[in-house]
Structure 1
Amino acid sequence: MGRVGERSEPGWGEPDKTPSLTGTSPARQLNRPAELAAAGLVPPERLAALDAVAARYAVAVTPAMADLIDAADPDDPIARQFIPDPAELDRLPEERDDPIGDNPHQPVAGIVHRYPDRVLLKLVHVCAVYCRFCFRREMVGPGAKMLSDAELAEALAYVRARPEIWEVVITGGDPLVLSPRRIAAVVASLAAIEHVKVIRWHTRLPVVDPARITPALVGALKAQGKAVYVVLHANHAREMTAAARAACARLVDAGIPMLGQSVLLRGVNDDPAALSDLMRALVEARVKPYYLHQGDLAPGTSHLRTTIAEGQALMRAIRGRLSGLCQPTYVLDIPGGHGKVPVGPGYLCEAADEEGYEVTDYQGGRHRYPPAG
Structure 2
Amino acid sequence: MIKIENQAATDWRHELTQAIRTLPELAAQLALSPAQLPAAEQATAAFRLLVPRPFVARMQPGDPNDPLLRQVLADDIEMQPTAGYTTDPLDEGEHNPQKGLVHKYERRVLVITTGTCAVNCRYCFRRHFPYGDNQLAQKEWDSVVAYIQNHPEVNEVILSGGDPLMLKDSQLRQHVAAMEQLPQLKRLRIHSRLPVVIPSRIDRELLDWVRQTRLDVVFVYHANHANEIDDDIATGVANLKQAGATVLNQGVILKGVNDSVTAQVELSEALFAAGILPYYMFTLDPIEGGAHFDIPISEAQQLMGKVAEKLPGYLVPRLAKEIPGRPAKTLFSPKLSD
Q: TM exceeds 0.5?
A: yes
Instruction: Give, in whole Å, the separation in 2 of the partners of 1:241 and 1:233.
Output: 14
Partner SS, residue 229 of structure 1: strand
Instruction: Give, in whole Å, the separation in 2 of the partners of 1:135 and 1:149.
Output: 26
Residue 258 (structure 2) aligned to one of 261, 269, 279: 269
Q: How does 1:119-198 map to 2 (within 5 A)?
A: 119-139=109-129, 146-198=135-187
Is the Cα contact below 8 Å between 1:187 and 1:222 reproduced in 2? no
Size of the aligned set, in residue pairs, is 327
Q: CA deviation at 1:33?
A: 2.2
| 1:151-189 deviation digits (Å, cap 9, x = unpaired) | 322112111211100111110011012111111111111
Cα pair distance change 1:24/1:155, threshold 3 Å: farther
Using the size of structure 1 for normalisation, the TM-score is: 0.82
Instruction: Give, in whole Å, the separation in 1 of the partners of 2:283 and 2:159.
Output: 21
Is the Cα contact below 8 Å between 1:23 and 1:179 reproduced in 2? no
Q: Which residue of 2 aligns with 1:260?
A: 249
Q: Which residue of 2 aligns with 1:303?
A: 292
Instruction: Give, in whole Å, the separation in 2 of the partners of 1:110 and 1:89.
Output: 28
Q: CA deviation at 1:302?
A: 1.2
Is the Cα contact below 8 Å between 2:74 and 2:122 reproduced in 1? yes
Q: CA deviation at 1:89?
A: 1.2
Instruction: Give, in whole Å, the separation in 1 of the partners of 2:35 and 2:134.
Output: 34
The structure with the largest alpha-carbon Rg is: 1
Does residue 64 of structure 2 align to residue 97 of structure 1?
A: no
Instruction: Give, in whole Å, the separation in 1 of the partners of 2:260 and 2:24.
Output: 33
Does residue 37 of structure 2 align to residue 63 of structure 1?
A: no
Instruction: Give, in whole Å, the separation in 1 of the partners of 2:271 and 2:217.
Output: 19
Q: CA deviation at 1:340?
A: 2.0
Runs of 4+ aligned residues of structure 1 deviating over 6 Å after TM superposition are none
Is the Cα contact below 8 Å between 1:33 and 1:51 reproduced in 2? no
Instruction: Give, in whole Å, the separation in 2 of the partners of 1:224 and 1:218.
Output: 10
Q: CA deviation at 1:202?
A: 0.4
Is the Cα contact below 8 Å between 1:112 and 1:120 reproduced in 2? yes
Instruction: Give, in whole Å, the separation in 2 of the partners of 1:281 and 1:257.
Output: 17
Partner SS, residue 285 of structure 2: coil
Q: Could you tell me which amino acid in structure 2 is paired with residue 324 of structure 1?
A: G
Instruction: Give, in whole Å, the separation in 2 of the partners of 1:76 and 1:335.
Output: 33
Instruction: Give, in whole Å, the separation in 1 of the partners of 2:31 and 2:311.
Output: 34
Is the Cα contact below 8 Å between 1:187 and 1:223 reproduced in 2? no
Cα pair distance change 1:174/1:205, threshold 3 Å: same
Q: CA deviation at 1:56?
A: 0.2
Partner SS, residue 334 of structure 1: coil
Q: Which residue of 2 aligns with 1:39?
A: 29
Partner SS, residue 114 of structure 1: strand
Q: Could you tell me which amino acid in structure 1 is paired with residue 137 of structure 2?
A: S
Q: How does 1:315-326 map to 2 (within 5 A)?
A: 315-326=304-315
Instruction: Give, in whole Å, the separation in 2 of the partners of 1:73 and 1:236.
Output: 16
Q: Which residue of 2 aligns with 1:75?
A: 65
Instruction: Give, in whole Å, the separation in 2 of the partners of 1:138 and 1:209.
Output: 24
Q: Could you tell me which amino acid in structure 2 is paired with residue 79 of structure 1?
A: L
Q: Could you tell me which amino acid in structure 2 is paired with residue 121 of structure 1?
A: V
Instruction: Give, in whole Å, the separation in 2 of the partners of 1:324 and 1:184.
Output: 36
Does residue 288 of structure 2 align to residue 286 of structure 1?
A: no
| 1:172-217 deviation digits (Å, cap 9, x = unpaired) | 0110121111111111111111101110000112210001210111
Is the Cα contact below 8 Å between 2:38 and 2:76 reproduced in 1? no
Is the Cα contact below 8 Å between 1:311 and 1:344 reproduced in 2? no
| 1:115-152 deviation digits (Å, cap 9, x = unpaired) | 110010110111110111000001389x9974112432
Is the Cα contact below 8 Å between 2:15 and 2:52 reproduced in 1? no
Q: Could you tell me which amino acid in structure 1 is paired with residue 108 of structure 2?
A: R
5+ long unaligned stretches in structure 1: 1-21, 347-361, 365-373
Instruction: Give, in whole Å, the separation in 1 of the partners of 2:274 and 2:38.
Output: 40
Does residue 178 of structure 2 align to residue 218 of structure 1?
A: no
Higher helix share: 2
Q: CA deviation at 1:345?
A: 3.2
Is the Cα contact below 8 Å between 1:140 and 1:173 reproduced in 2? no
Q: Could you tell me which amino acid in structure 2 is paired with residue 93 of structure 1?
A: A
Equivalent pairs: percent with the same residue?
34
Partner SS, residue 131 of structure 1: coil
